[in-house]
């Protein structure tokens, strides 16, 4: 829709003709005027704006100016995607996926993993069960591995450690990143780090 304001000759003619039935409706509403006794009068019916639920609201801060102001829709910015065809190594992230979506903490970890991977490595995200996320690529994920099964539902840290151990044997990631949160990432990270140290004698797991 164009933002160009076009003239309406018929509306201008009605505004000039005081005998027209719609003349009063075409006049601009005065929010305040000086009364005959010198007092400033305010039109309380002209204040405010109609909210999205149809109820009239009065914004005394002046931050909102009603629904008459045209707001241009913000264009979606397409970020360039960096594809890693043959990664030299992997940085593996196990997000919490609270509610089936990436949280702000998960996105911070993916950003850190993207920095550690650089131009040669790839970020591998390991997700347990079903999810609702559709923007893994924009968050910095190069490879997505979904581990599904009835044994991984609910509180199952031991089964998940075994699943991560299988991923470690297959991809041999350079670093593991897990969120240090109460949603399960902190406990899972410490359990998995202990399991890795028993197997290899060194730690490659970080909880952030």
CA atoms within 13 A on the CB side of 161: 20
In the prediction, which pLDDT does 84 show?
81
94-153 residue pLDDT tens: 999 888 889 888 999 999 999 999 989 999 999 998 888 888 988 889 999 999 888 888
Within a domain: 73: no
Full domain range(s) for residue 181: 89-199
- At 120-137, the pLDDT tens digits run 999 999 999 888 888 898
Higher pLDDT, 100 or 77: 100
For residues 99 and 190, state if they share a domain: yes
Note the pLDDT of residue 35. 75
pLDDT category at 2 given cuts 50, 70, 90 is low
What three-state secondary structure class fits 157? helix
More confident residue, 72 or 186: 186
Task: Count up the domains in the chain and report the number.
Answer: 2
Evaluate whether 91 touches 124 at the Cβ level (below 8 Å): yes
CATH assignment of the domain containing 120: 3.40.50.620
Res 16: pLDDT: 81
Residues 107 and 185 occupy one common structural domain: yes
User: Is residue 74 one of the residues assigned to a domain?
Assistant: no
Structure tokens at 44: 């309380």
153-173: pLDDT as tens digits: 888 889 999 999 999 999 999
Strands 32-34 and 40-42: antiparallel
What's this model's pTM, rounded to 2 decimal places? 0.58
Cβ(66)–Cβ(29) below 8 Å: no
136-146 exposure pattern, b = at least 16 Cβ within 10 A, e = fewer: beebbbbeebe
135 & 178 share domain: yes
């Amino acid at each position: 829709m164009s933002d160009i304001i076009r003239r309406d000759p018929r509306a201008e003619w009605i505004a000039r003709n005081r005998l027209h039935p719609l003349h009063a409706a075409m006049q601009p509403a005065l929010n305040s005027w000086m009364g005959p006794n010198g007092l400033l009068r305010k039109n309380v019916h002209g204040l405010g704006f109609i909210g999205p639920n149809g109820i009239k609201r009065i914004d005394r801060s002046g931050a909102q100016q009603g629904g008459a102001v045209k707001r241009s829709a913000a264009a979606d910015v397409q970020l360039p995607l960096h594809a890693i065809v043959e990664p030299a190594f992997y940085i593996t992230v196990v997000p919490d996926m609270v509610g089936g979506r990436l949280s702000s903490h998960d996105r911070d970890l993916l950003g850190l993993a993207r920095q550690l991977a650089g131009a040669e490595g790839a970020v591998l995200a390991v997700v347990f069960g079903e999810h609702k996320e559709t923007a893994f690529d924009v968050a910095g994920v190069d490879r997505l591995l979904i581990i599904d099964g009835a044994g991984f539902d609910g509180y199952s840290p031991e089964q998940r450690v075994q699943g991560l151990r299988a991923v470690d044997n297959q991809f041999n990631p350079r670093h593991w990143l897990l969120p240090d949160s109460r949603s399960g990432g902190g406990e899972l990270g410490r359990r998995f780090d202990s399991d890795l140290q028993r197997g290899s004698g060194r730690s490659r797991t970080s909880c952030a």
